[in-house]
């Protein structure tokens, strides 16, 4: 996503999805900070003042952030030293807040505060703010007293498990109680509570989950002896403009009672690059950008945990909304956008993570309990459901159910149940269009559409694969008999018939072009543009010359991406390679005695994946396969899929479907014996770490 400059405006404070602080700025007020000393009783504080910037835009009103508590001031040396996390600031109306986080952008700094949003009329430009520095002679501390307003008591929930002990949160100070109207009214942030042992704590945050609420407190962790069957008492203390702001919310996850536990949400990162973002990761402070969907708004809250692709877990500190996006600020150190950013996903949970998430660097998979469905992750592992491409070249177009067959609903149901929901569906050009530039064959089109209906019924995604090896009735594309315009025409007609079918994931232009006389790039461009004229959304899969070999890709296919149109990310193009492990790269596996290096698949994939990364393009392994009699080939497949998934490159295994007999690579054999390849595919199919096809870096 490009970040467009706005005429007359300084650069954005936190990029396109964050604190777009200076949009519409016309004047910059110079810093008016000055160190002064004031004396109040026996307390002496150093006070640093600064004038609020005159920023007014969609996000700002007189230098005050509209959506969260914060203001913008010039980033002078004095202000940088005084306005720090944890410092107290006095606003123009006399109220005192605590600094939660500070962001810098060029000559300005955004100071984010505790509490609710500010009243710009009372605290914004041309007012000043004061940072209350260290106390030279601290006033005599006042003993804690019981709140003087009427108290309200509530029973503590009787929860005991890994996170709770007698309704007391184990990881930080907090209780769980019933979310009655009376409790919601009494237990609010800023109120004080009295515990069973007499100590008084301040409420820092409250989380509602169904019929229960978690009340988080200031201070250290509590003893479970203070929980059930004791009660929690609350009384709201009178507010004072000069009183310190409530303590920051603890960085532990939002506690949720066991009966309301929800599955983690998996969501895609935004593809923001440039300025302050790398692959949707904020570079100046730890943070991420995601879409502000309803599911994301519900899942991302202060205290929630997020898990990155590499397994690291962070805690949400603050959230900012800007249009259709939201920026989520995290604890900890810098985040490497190239390692964990777009096109990968992240997982977010109020309850932490416990179950293994295979294939994603030690991350975890969503639990199978109730909760929001994963948002945006792609299927990284799928299958080729073969049959519609069967038949001899000499007998084309052939006879349905004698020379060839389409996979039936039972095939789709079987693989949907096995969680292999990405399907590459081979078909023959001569059957769908028996004569060039003519209408599609109605009977064959009907079979294709019926097959797509099966996929839709079982929630599967289909890549339509024209399985013709760059030929039509044996004649090369770009020849006198089969002009490139005929190839483009065929795809235009197919797209017109299937573009609105929900099962169509993409269009596979041609299976394994070879001996193309260098004409394939022009043919691929023409067909891609013909499809894009009809369908602007779905993927177009562009196979490579030399049988699409991944290992040989850089030597044969650099011209595929020469034309700027073929490199434009808005055109949703995916480059397709094939990969087999045998000596001649063919997938025939002629030698049953061959033993394969465990990393041979990775070695053969790297030239293709690294070419994609250098050129910031997307990739797909349309075919790979291992024979059932070779344990070493299956181990190599395991390592291959792990490598591909790490780079968000999806793949479809060759092959599955009817009529395979006892073919050693097939997942469906006449004998019905278990297939050793299947568990490996299923293991890697659980990986939901990618939000789109990669690698793009």
Known catalytic residues? 512, 623
297: helix, coil or strand? helix
Distance CA(538)–CA(500), nearest Å, equals 10
Residue 536 neighbours by CB under 8 Å, 6+ apart: none
Distance CA(267)–CA(278), nearest Å, equals 17
Distance CA(364)–CA(357), nearest Å, equals 4
Give the CA distances from residue 105 to residues 22, 72, 76, 510, in Å, rounded to whole numbers and listed in that order: 10, 10, 12, 49
Q: What angle do CA 614, 518, 615 make, to 5 degrees?
A: 10
Distance CA(488)–CA(496), nearest Å, equals 12
- The residue written with tokens 């698949």 in the block is 601
R_g of the chain, CA atoms, integer Å? 31
Strand partners, 278: 281
The torsion region of residue 592 among left (phi > 0), alpha (psi -120 to 50) and beta comes to: alpha
Structure tokens given for 497? 């018939």
The torsion region of residue 93 among left (phi > 0), alpha (psi -120 to 50) and beta comes to: alpha
Handedness of CA 432, 436, 437, 438 (dihedral sign): negative
Handedness of CA 362, 367, 371, 374 (dihedral sign): positive
Q: Of 619, 521, 527, 608, give the one whose Cα is nearest residue 561.
A: 521
In 285-433, where does DSSP find H-type helix? 294-299, 337-340, 409-417, 429-432
Distance CA(161)–CA(140), nearest Å, equals 43
Residue 574 neighbours by CB under 8 Å, 6+ apart: 506, 539, 540, 541, 542, 618, 619, 620, 693
Q: Of 239, 311, 245, 309, give the one whose Cα is nearest residue 280.
A: 309
Distance CA(311)–CA(555), nearest Å, equals 36
Residue 153 neighbours by CB under 8 Å, 6+ apart: 231, 232, 233, 234
Yes or no: say if 259 and 197 are a contact pair by the CB < 8 Å rule: no
Q: Of 629, 640, 552, give the one whose Cα is nearest residue 595.
A: 629
Length of the chain: 697
CA contacts within 13 A on the Cβ side of 519: 17
Structure tokens given for 117? 């949003």
Distance CA(391)–CA(398), nearest Å, equals 7
Structure tokens given for 35? 């160190």
DSSP state, 420? -
Distance CA(253)–CA(307), nearest Å, equals 12
């Amino acid at each position: 996503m490009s970040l467009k400059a706005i005429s007359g405006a300084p650069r954005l404070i936190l990029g396109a999805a964050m604190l777009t602080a200076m949009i519409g700025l016309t004047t910059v007020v110079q810093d008016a900070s000055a160190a002064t000393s004031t004396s109040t009783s026996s307390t002496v504080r150093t006070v640093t003042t600064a004038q609020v910037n005159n920023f007014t835009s969609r996000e700002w009103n007189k230098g005050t952030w509209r959506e969260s508590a914060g203001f913008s001031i010039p980033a002078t040396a004095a202000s940088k030293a005084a306005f720090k996390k944890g410092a107290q600031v006095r606003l123009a109306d006399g109220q005192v807040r605590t600094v939660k986080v500070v962001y810098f952008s060029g000559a300005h700094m955004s100071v984010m505060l505790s509490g609710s949003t500010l009243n710009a009329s009372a605290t914004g430009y041309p007012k000043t703010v004061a940072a209350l520095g260290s106390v030279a002679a601290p006033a005599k501390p006042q003993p804690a007293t019981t709140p003087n307003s009427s108290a309200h008591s509530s029973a503590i929930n009787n929860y005991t498990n890994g996170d709770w002990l007698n309704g007391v949160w184990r990881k930080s100070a907090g209780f769980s109680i019933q979310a009655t109207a009376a409790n919601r009214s009494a237990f609010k942030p800023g109120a004080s509570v009295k515990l069973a042992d007499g100590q008084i704590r301040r409420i820092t945050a409250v989380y509602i989950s169904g019929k229960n609420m978690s009340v988080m407190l200031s201070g250290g962790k509590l003893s479970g002896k203070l929980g059930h069957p004791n009660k929690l008492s609350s009384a709201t203390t009178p507010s004072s403009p000069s009183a310190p702001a409530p303590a920051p919310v603890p960085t532990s996850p939002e506690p949720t009672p066991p009966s309301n536990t929800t599955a983690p949400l998996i969501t895609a990162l935004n593809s923001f690059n440039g300025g302050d973002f790398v692959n949707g990761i904020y570079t100046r402070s730890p943070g991420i950008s995601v879409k502000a969907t309803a599911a994301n708004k519900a899942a991302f809250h202060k205290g929630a945990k997020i898990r990155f692709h590499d397994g690291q877990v962070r805690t949400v500190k603050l959230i900012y909304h800007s249009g259709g996006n939201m920026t989520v600020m995290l604890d900890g150190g810098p985040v490497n956008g190239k390692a964990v950013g777009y096109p990968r996903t992240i997982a977010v949970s109020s309850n932490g993570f416990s179950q293994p998430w295979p294939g994603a660097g030690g991350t975890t998979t969503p639990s199978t309990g109730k909760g929001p469905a994963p948002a945006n992750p792609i299927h990284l592992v799928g299958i080729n459901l073969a049959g519609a491409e069967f038949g001899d070249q000499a007998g084309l177009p052939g006879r349905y159910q004698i020379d060839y067959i389409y996979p039936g609903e039972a095939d789709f149901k079987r693989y949907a149940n096995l969680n292999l929901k990405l399907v590459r569906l081979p078909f023959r050009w001569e059957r769908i269009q028996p004569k060039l530039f003519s209408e599609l064959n109605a009977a064959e089109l009907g079979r294709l559409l019926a097959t797509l209906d099966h996929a839709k019924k079982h929630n599967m995604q289909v890549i339509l694969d024209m399985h013709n090896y760059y030929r039509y009735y044996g004649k090369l594309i770009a020849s006198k008999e089969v002009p490139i315009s005929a190839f483009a025409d065929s795809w235009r007609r197919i797209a017109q018939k299937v573009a609105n079918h929900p099962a169509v994931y993409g269009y596979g232009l041609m299976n394994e072009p070879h001996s193309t006389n260098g004409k394939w790039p022009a043919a691929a461009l023409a067909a891609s543009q013909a499809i894009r004229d009809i369908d602007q959304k779905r993927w177009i899969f562009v196979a490579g010359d030399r049988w699409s070999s991944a290992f040989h890709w850089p030597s044969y296919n650099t011209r595929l991406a020469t034309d700027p149109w073929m490199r434009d990310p808005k055109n949703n193009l995916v480059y397709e390679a094939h990969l087999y492990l045998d000596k001649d790269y063919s997938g025939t596996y002629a030698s049953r005695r061959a033993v394969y290096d465990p990393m041979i698949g990775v070695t053969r994939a790297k030239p293709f994946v690294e070419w994609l990364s250098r050129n910031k393009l997307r990739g797909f392994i349309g075919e790979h396969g291992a024979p059932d009699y070779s344990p070493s080939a299956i181990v190599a497949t395991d390592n291959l899929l792990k490598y591909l998934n790490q780079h968000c490159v999806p793949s479809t295994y060759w092959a599955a479907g009817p009529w395979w007999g006892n073919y050693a690579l097939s997942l469906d054999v006449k004998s019905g014996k278990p297939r050793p390849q299947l568990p490996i595919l299923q293991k890697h199919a659980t990986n939901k770490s990618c939000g789109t096809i990669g690698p793009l870096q």
